[in-house]
Amino acid sequence: MMIEPTIRVTLACLVLLSVCLLGCKRPPSSPSMTGLPNIDKAELFKLKKHGDLWNGEIERDTILVGNEAQDVARLWRAQSFSSDSPICHNPGYAIKFYDRDVQILYATLCWECDNIEFLTPQLDKYVGFDAQGAKGQELLKYLINRLESQSPMVSMRRTLDAAERAQRSALNRSGACAPADRIVMRHQSYEHQHLFTF
């Protein structure tokens, strides 16, 4: 009887497909990024826009260490994240966090679309955050205060690799679903495995 094995395989495929679809639509397991490990340095960036779009250029930046780095990490950990996000992303600011000179997080933030693009760890789609809430506004005010006092970068222009930007844009337009709501990242020179939970 060949019918019975075929039915079993079909049922197994349907169950697997259902689990995958539920995983993509599942809300985040935690409203905040509590898994951000200890950091010892942060970089803040004011992004240079052309109209409403950012092409990878940096207008201003500053490096924070010690207590100043901990202040921005505290503000970051206080944010509320969501798997729901608009597909637009017109970032005005970016943040990088480091531990012993290893970049552990790099994200661009958009207060117009209320979302974040994670470049490290790289996610397939944008992550929403409560940009208009009290904590989101506190982070925005902090970034403005820290970066507006800096003089614009004139001789030094940093630009993301065009191929990398095109690849990220294609992934975001495709609506690809992140494989899970937890991301484990490993660094060759990093001793520990860090778990980021959204």
Q: Which residues of the chain have pLDDT under 70?
A: 1-34, 150-198
pTM passes above 0.75: no
13: in domain: no
Q: What is the pLDDT of residue 92?
A: 95
Flag whether 8 is in a domain: no
Q: What is the pLDDT of residue 159?
A: 42
pLDDT at residue 77 in the model: 95
19 in any annotated domain = no
- Give the number of other CB atoms < 10 A from CB of residue 135: 17
In a domain, 129, yes or no: yes
Question: Is residue 9 domain-resident?
Answer: no
Structural domain range at position 78: 28-197
pLDDT at 86: 87
Q: Has residue 14 been placed in a domain?
A: no
Domain assignment of residue 2, yes or no: no
Q: How many domains does the chain have?
A: 1
Measured between alpha carbons, how far is 39 from 75 in angstroms, rounded to an integer?
13
Whether residue 52 lies inside any domain: the answer is: yes
The rounded distance, in Å, linking the Cα atoms of 37 and 156 is 31
pLDDT score recorded for residue 110: 96
